[in-house]
Amino acid sequence: MFENKNTDSTSISTLGEFGLIEHITKHFEITKNSTIKGVGDDSAVLDYKDKNTLVTTDILVEGVNFDLSYMPLKHLGYKSVMMSLSDIYAMNGTANQILVTIAISNRFPLEAVEELYSGIQLACEKYSIDMVGGDTSSSNKGLIISITAIGEVEKGEQIYRSGAKQGDLLVVTGDLGAAYLGLQVLEREKQVFQVNPQSQPDLEKYSYLVERHLKPEARKDISKLLKDMGVKPTSMIDISDGLSSEIIHLGRQSGVGCSVYEDKLPLDPQVISTCEEFELNSTTIALSGGDDFELLFTVSQDDFDKIKGNPHISVIGHMTDKSNGYNLITRADQSIPLTAQGWDATLKKEKE
Amino acid sequence: MFENKNTDSTSISTLGEFGLIEHITKHFEITKNSTIKGVGDDSAVLDYKDKNTLVTTDILVEGVNFDLSYMPLKHLGYKSVMMSLSDIYAMNGTANQILVTIAISNRFPLEAVEELYSGIQLACEKYSIDMVGGDTSSSNKGLIISITAIGEVEKGEQIYRSGAKQGDLLVVTGDLGAAYLGLQVLEREKQVFQVNPQSQPDLEKYSYLVERHLKPEARKDISKLLKDMGVKPTSMIDISDGLSSEIIHLGRQSGVGCSVYEDKLPLDPQVISTCEEFELNSTTIALSGGDDFELLFTVSQDDFDKIKGNPHISVIGHMTDKSNGYNLITRADQSIPLTAQGWDATLKKEKE
């Protein structure tokens, strides 16, 4: 289903590096006033006038951060842009430009690179982003993609991780755990496919989960939503590394503790039913699943009336004294310490 | 000689990603006024006031762009920063910040990462650069390092590749070919070492070449030098990918041709003597060796009196009508077309 059936393949070596760059960048259009010079010189030239400039970068490594057997290249391109934009949005900023760097082995024909860049281009069009540069290299093994995103924020309007105060409400956008479950569904289908290549997976009832994994959307809308509500968060962070670890980050950098309520965690019905089917604890998935391109922020209690009932956001807890630590308050009213599980600390064993 | 003899090793997995980032970034200091927020949030926040912002990125892949058997990690860190800064200087800009991204396999202990970052830190101190962010990942194979550099330029003072005019003088900074020959010397020593591990290489007479390969310096000084001379180049480009290919780039983007004079190419005496020893043509090495972190630029003929005799720069040719193409004028007064050899188009075969 997710395999590229295109059998025409062109070796990248026929183009060379400069030919490759020209080939893959020619379809990108420059649309932002802040882009003075994009692709084609030693560096991009940007004009951010009286705004502050935001810069962030992320790397994705094949076999570590993604598996091409169920992540089509176009989706990978799209998702890698989302990952980077999400960090700009988490500063209350507007994303404007990206630099795209890839390292690829000779396993990939030109058509594969085109697929990857078609996803990047779709993301650029949808989110109004100029692709203004990057780099390419060959790799000895697999595909590596690194995206640098550049954005802007009015001076003083950036929101750090460090501004949460005791008593502030903890708020999350969207819902949690779906992307992780989408990955579990795809991994199961891959195993079924390996045993029986004739199998036709029926992903209908997991459609939201699979979409959240394969085509996540960064929360470009939240900055404006909050402004329209007249609310300025006291702190904000992106939670694609997992809710639990990011709550701890936010709390530590702000010097406060946090209580999160299990019954407040926003879960899509497909998350609940699929957790039952897979015999997984939905709270664990929501806290530690990761890959949800949502934002976590804190607001003063005084703003509660402004935010309550909004379908895009959920109040899931409140900030406490630092000595309280970081705890989940369960449905049975028990307090359980949260743990950071944002990263698999066990490095992959190198295959030499 | 270049092996890391340190046998104490600590697994990176004992730290986890956030511990690793904290560990390697804690020695970096923020010194630039334009850095509002560095490492530790979703993105860096910069204030470029009324200047234009320059952004560039480069990637280095182990086994493709470097070989750790003769490139110590500290030098690799330093060199990777130089590579990125050079692109900012090639725009006539000032470099201010970098983002550092690495992907590493479990082959590397923490001490190796510390070595790499010590070189990055040294470069930051020497060139007055703030390290303001980045990303880390594990890799299935080897080390990958990607640096994004951010800089500034007064509005209208950026110099593009596209401004060269017919009749302009072609000028290069420093001297050519030494870095490539340094690599040849190190590769020969590696082979000797593999045959006879007791051999003690005497690199004394190649000291400049080896230094140019292992510890190149980006031309931070050129922008000020030109300003002090009262000269503004009409075009400029970094030549770390090789002089010949970059002459062609500059000419194509400017819509002009170029004649380069063999007898004008600046060569260090060690380049000349080592080319003789290795039976290599020094002109070929100067044109195609690459890895020289020098700048190539064009100036109006009217500026000749201002630049002549300066020891940092050499006039090597002049721009011609486009129809003339790109040619080397030999010592025998023959005209030979230049070819772009800036990149090895043959992708490395993937070892699965």
The DSSP line for A39-98 is SSSSSEEE--TTSEEEEEEEEEEBTTTB-TTTS-HHHHHHHHHHHHHHHHHTTT-EEEEE
* Beta partners for residue B137, in sequence order: B103
Q: Which of A103, A132, A345 sits opposite B13 (nearest CB)?
A: A345
CATH number for position A185: 3.90.650.10
Q: Looking at the domain assignment, is residue B239 inside a domain?
A: yes
- Please judge whether B87 and A42 are an interchain contact, meaning their C-beta atoms are less than 8 angstroms apart: yes
Confirm whether A4 is domain-assigned: no
Residue owning tokens 């931070």? B220
Query: What are the φ and ψ backbone dihedral angles of B173, each rounded to 5 degrees?
Result: -90, 155
Note whether B148 contacts A: Cβ–Cβ < 8 A. Answer: yes
pLDDT attached to residue A208? 97
What percent of chain A clears pLDDT 90, i.e. is strictly above it?
77
Let me know if residue B53 belongs to a domain.
Answer: yes
Residue B21 pLDDT:
79
Positions of chain B with pLDDT under 70: 1-8, 341-352
A145, A231: one domain: no
Question: How far does A273 lie from chain B, in Å, by closest CA?
Answer: 33
Is the CB of A140 less than 8 angstroms away from the CB of B343?
Answer: no
Q: Are B141 and A350 inside 8 Å of each other by CB?
A: yes
* Torsion angles phi and psi, residue A251, rounded to 5: -65, -50
With respect to residue B347, please indicate whether it lies within any of the assigned structural domains.
Answer: no
Q: In Å, how far are A119, A282, B95, B239, B296 from B149, measured between CA atoms? A: 25, 42, 7, 17, 20
ipTM for the predicted complex comes to 0.90
Answer yes or no: is pLDDT of A204 > 50: yes
Same domain for B180 and B144: no
Identify which of A134, A157, A206 has the alpha carbon closest to the alpha carbon of residue A52.
A157
Among the partner-chain residues B16, B236, B348, the one whose CB lies closest to the CB of A106 is: B348
Degrees to nearest 5, angle at CA A321 with A317 and A324? 80
Do residue B176 and residue B236 come from a single domain? yes
Please report the residues numbered 46 through 105 in chain A whose beta carbons come closer than 8 angstroms to any beta carbon of chain B.
46-50, 52-65, 86-88, 90-91, 93, 97, 99, 101, 103-105
Does B158 fall in a domain? no
A303 in the same domain as A196? yes
Most confident of A111-115, A193-197, B7-11: A111-115
CB contact under 8 A, B55 and A253: no
CA–CA distance, A282 with B198 (Å, rounded to integer) = 61
Which residues have CB under 8 Å from B178's CB, separation 6+?
Answer: B208, B209, B212, B213, B268, B270, B271, B292
Partner-chain residue, chosen from A93, A144, A148, that has the shortest CB–CB distance to B148: A148
Band of the pLDDT at A20, cuts 50, 70, 90? confident
CATH code of the domain covering residue B147: 3.30.1330.10
Give the end of a domain, one of A93, A121, A153: A153
Chain B contact for A159, CB < 8 A? no
Give A279-327 pLDDT, tens digit per residue.
Answer: 999 999 999 998 999 999 999 999 999 999 999 999 999 999 999 999 9
**Domain for residue A223, yes or no?**
yes
pTM for this entry: 0.91
Identify the bridge partners of residue A98 per DSSP, sorted by sequence position.
A131, A149
Residues A193 and A331 in one domain: yes
Does one domain contain both A201 and A140? no
Residue B149: list chain A partners with CB under 8 A: 43
Shared-domain flag, residues A205 and A75 = no
Q: What is the mean pLDDT of chain B?
A: 90
Interchain CB distance below 8 Å, B17 and A140: no
In this predicted model, which residue has the larger pLDDT, A245 or B16? A245
**A151-160, A217-226, B12-21 — which is least confidently predicted?**
B12-21
Q: What is the β-pairing status of strands B94-104 and A235-238? A: unpaired
A201: confidence class by pLDDT, cuts 50, 70, 90: confident
Determine, yes or no, domain membership for A79. Answer: yes
Closest CA to A99 of A76, A129, A79: A129
Measured between beta carbons, which residues in chain B are less than 8 angstroms from residue A134? Answer: 57
Q: Which of A11, A42, A54, A144 is the best residue to mutate to test the B interface, defined by the most B CB atoms within 10 Å of its own CB? A: A42
Question: Parallel, antiparallel, or unpaired for β B326-329 and B257-261?
Answer: parallel
Q: Nearest chain B Cα to A248, which residue?
A: B18
The mean per-residue pLDDT over the stretch A180-195 comes to 89
A residues 277..316 contacting B (CB < 8 A)? none
For B186, the token pair is: 């190190």
Q: Which of A153, A186, A207 is the last residue of a domain?
A: A153
Do B185 and B317 fall into the same domain?
Answer: yes
Residue B348 lies in a domain: no
Structural domains counted in chain A? 2
pLDDT score recorded for residue B11: 82
Mean pLDDT for all residues in chain A: 90
pLDDT digit string, tens, across residues A125-150: 999 999 999 999 999 889 999 999 99
Q: Which of A202-211, A332-341, B222-231 has the lowest mean pLDDT?
A: A332-341
Domain extent at residue A97: 15-153
Cα–Cα distance measured from residue B128 to residue B31, given in angstroms and rounded to the nearest whole number: 8
pLDDT value for B4: 46
Confidence check: pLDDT of A203 > 50: yes
Residues B118 and B192 grouped into a single domain = no
Confidence (pLDDT) at A80: 97
Mutate to test the interface with A, among B9, B22, B42 (most CBs of A within 10 A): B42
Q: Do B64 and A237 touch (CB under 8 A)?
A: no
CA distance A117 to A108: 13
SS3 (DSSP) at B334:
coil
pLDDT per position as a tens digit, B26-63 = 888 888 899 999 888 899 999 999 999 999 999 999 99
For residue A110, give the chain B residue with the closest CA: B347
Give A51 to chain B, closest Cα distance, Å.
Answer: 7
Last residue of a domain, one of B100, B119, B153: B153
Q: What is the distance between the terminal CA atoms of chain A, rounded to a whole angstrom? A: 32
pLDDT of residue A8: 67
Give yes or no: residues A202 and A107 share one domain.
no
Who's near A149: CB < 8 A, 6+ residues apart? Answer: A54, A55, A56, A57, A81, A84, A85, A87, A88, A95, A97, A98, A129, B43
Q: Please state which of the ranges A73-82, A91-100, A337-346, B240-249 shows the lowest mean pLDDT.
A: A337-346
- What is the pLDDT confidence band of residue A7, given thresholds at 50, 70 and 90? low
CB contact under 8 A, A55 and B132: yes
Is B347–A106 a contact, with Cβ atoms under 8 angstroms apart? yes
A133 and A175 together in one domain: no
Note whether A29 and A111 are same-domain residues: yes
